[in-house]
Amino acid sequence: MKKTNQFALLKKRRFAPFFITQFLGAFNDNLYKNALLILLAVTGYKLTHINPNYLTNLTAVLFILPFFLFSATAGQLADKYEKNRIIHYVKILEVLIAVCATIAFHLTNIYLLYIALFLLGVHSTVFGPIKYAILPQHLKKNELIAGNAWVEASTFCAILLGTLVGGVLIAQTHGVLLISILMLTLAIMGLIASYAIPRAPSFNKTLKMNWNPFTETYNNLKGIQKERPLFLAMLGISWFWFYGATFLTQLPVFTSQILGGNVEVITLLLTLFSIGIGIGSLLCDYLGEGKLEIGLVPLGSLGLTLFAIDIYWATLDMHAITQVGVFEFISKLNHVRILIDILLLGVFGGFYTVPLYAFLQLRSKPEMRSRVIASNNILNALFMVISGLLAIILFSVGVTIPEIFLVTAILNALIAGYIYRLLPEFLLRFIFWLLVHTFYRLRTRGLENIPETGPVILICNHVSYVDALVIAAACNRPPRFVMDYSIYNWPILHLIFKAGHAIPIAPAHENKALLMHAYEQIAAALAHGEVVCIFPEGRLTKTGRMNPFKPGIIKMAKDSNVPIIPMGTRGLWGSIFSRNKRRWKIFSPFRQIGLYIGPEVLPAHVTTDELYAIVSELKKGMHVDMEKIEAINFAQLG
């Protein structure tokens, strides 16, 4: 698959107008919310005679409440109607909200200010499902990770900038006027940008709307639990919002009371976290080589645990006496250590979230993708509320902020372990990705020939003990490998093979019952639309040349009537995992290897000799003879 220049996306009409629209919307939300929080903290009691602490908490609740109430309805709207048209209406609403906020500021009317805040929450709720569901419609498959990376990075930058600018402007003499002008300007710019977003047609125009938000929310959450991989991915994303909310909420007080930093230091820490998210998000595209690499998710969760624990250890004996500025703060080595921890928390947070969002987009059906994202938004909001409640409970029993960070880190490890145990695909992909990128530099060609859905049989030449790892690391869909039963039963590795749902097989003369059971498992896997990978030689090559193909592959394909995708590896002969006797002498790390995938071959009239010839061409890095494949397929179609 050709790798995309992620910066080139910012110049494409398929992405740039949407990117600008969503960034300006997120910026505006946080600009107004933070300005209102500071205004209420300073003048809230004069306006209402209510304790400002209650007002600030009410502010947080009112903004997040629409996510609970209307996310399910928003998901239906985005699935039923053109997404770009809904964005236009949402941006018109944002302009009207900015006008409402301006009037509320001018009249100093607390009720209008809260109405504007609630409506901004509605604006974000309706836009939320579209934000991620529209990307697969406008971006190519090899651009999707880059697109998600930009959206994730810009969202955190918008949160940071909106928070900072809102706080700075509202403190000025004419702060209310400045906030009003900026809100109107951003809303109008977002509206103008939205009209340049290309059409995004509905996949489900006949969807019957359920306008009851409570029953629809219940139905969405209940239905998505049946899609186990999607539901677990949602739990993973929601957990990150719990994690992020915990850290970002406590960071100002932590900086002031524990680290002894002033407002400038708080800003520095928030900025580093946001920059880290941006770096980690954009690195996902580079490390995944332009494709979905869910193996980065366990790497992300590992970093989120380790660096949070390090923050706890670094602050064990700290307690602020005076508050210092940035330059005095960074003069202490322990403070620099904490700055690095905060930055790396952001980086590994990017590793964690971007592949999960792409996973939701790619694995959900197009006609219900927006409702899947909406369900995810509901869970995100719920987890953020739980985060706040847990922090209140921990504070009430005397837990300190560093100890809250430690508890969160431990919970992160436990929850990650639970999710990976239920969905081992993530952990296995991490192992495959790590091993392949430690010993090799993998090039692929023709990955688009593997269909995104439906049953298919992959076949490949068998050169080394890590052939399966290379194939698994390259493919977006998890293949089920058919492997020799004696290797399948190797100690320790058996656990990995079992977690990967490998299918053990034996020759008929050794164990006929196991052979028949393997055929049954293969047929069942293909009937469920899975990918099955077989090495037709049946054993590793000892010479570097391919062994003859066994006829079982033709029987499996014909019995299930599924296409065969031929593949060939190049460069693995002579590596330390091959049977080349000189492998240790010629061993070199980061060895260049290739995986070349040909077009599908229909099974009815193909022979093992023809498949052998096709794989031989592929393993040499040659383009296959398309006329030959077309002739084979035409014979079946005819």
* DSSP class per residue in 137-151: HHS-GGGHHHHHHHH
Q: What is the pLDDT of residue 498?
A: 82
Distances from the Cα of 422 to the Cα of 46, 353, 418, angstroms: 53, 18, 6
405/345 Cα distance (integer angstroms)? 12
pLDDT at 1: 47
pLDDT at 636: 57
Give, as one character, the DSSP assignment of residue 445: E
State how far the Cα of 417 lies from the Cα of 232, in Å rounded to an integer.
Answer: 12
544: left (phi over 0), alpha (psi -120 to 50) or beta: left
pLDDT reported for residue 630: 66
Structure tokens at 337: 């250590």
Fill in the DSSP letter of residue 587: -
Give CA–CA dist 554/457, Å, rounded. Answer: 10
pLDDT of residue 306: 94
- Sheet of strand 479-484, all strands in order from the earlier edge strand to the far edge: 440-445, 591-597, 564-570, 456-460, 531-534, 479-484, 503-505
In contact, 537 and 546? CB cutoff 8 Å: yes
Domains and CATH numbers, the chain: 1-209 (1.20.1250.20), 211-423 (1.20.1250.20), 438-637 (3.40.1130.10)
Q: Which residues contact 7 (CB under 8 A, 6 or more apart)?
A: none
Helix, strand, or coil here: 622? coil
Q: Kindly state the helix (H) or strand (E) to which residue 205 belongs, with its residue range.
A: none
CA atoms within 13 A on the CB side of 458: 31
CA-angle at 509, arms to 506 and 515, nearest 5°: 35
Round to whole Å and give the CA distance between 229 and 569: 30
pLDDT of 3 reads 53
pLDDT for the residue 52 = 54
Q: What angle do CA 397, 401, 407 make, to 5 degrees?
A: 75
How confident is the model at residue 221, as a pLDDT? 77
**pTM, full prediction:** 0.76
Query: Residue 301: what pLDDT?
Result: 92
Distance CA 533, CA 467 (A): 11
End-to-end Cα, the chain, rounded Å? 32
pLDDT < 70 stretches in the chain? 1-5, 41-57, 289-290, 320-321, 582-590, 622-638
The residue type at 36? L
User: Beta-carbon neighbour count of residue 376 at 10 Å?
Assistant: 29
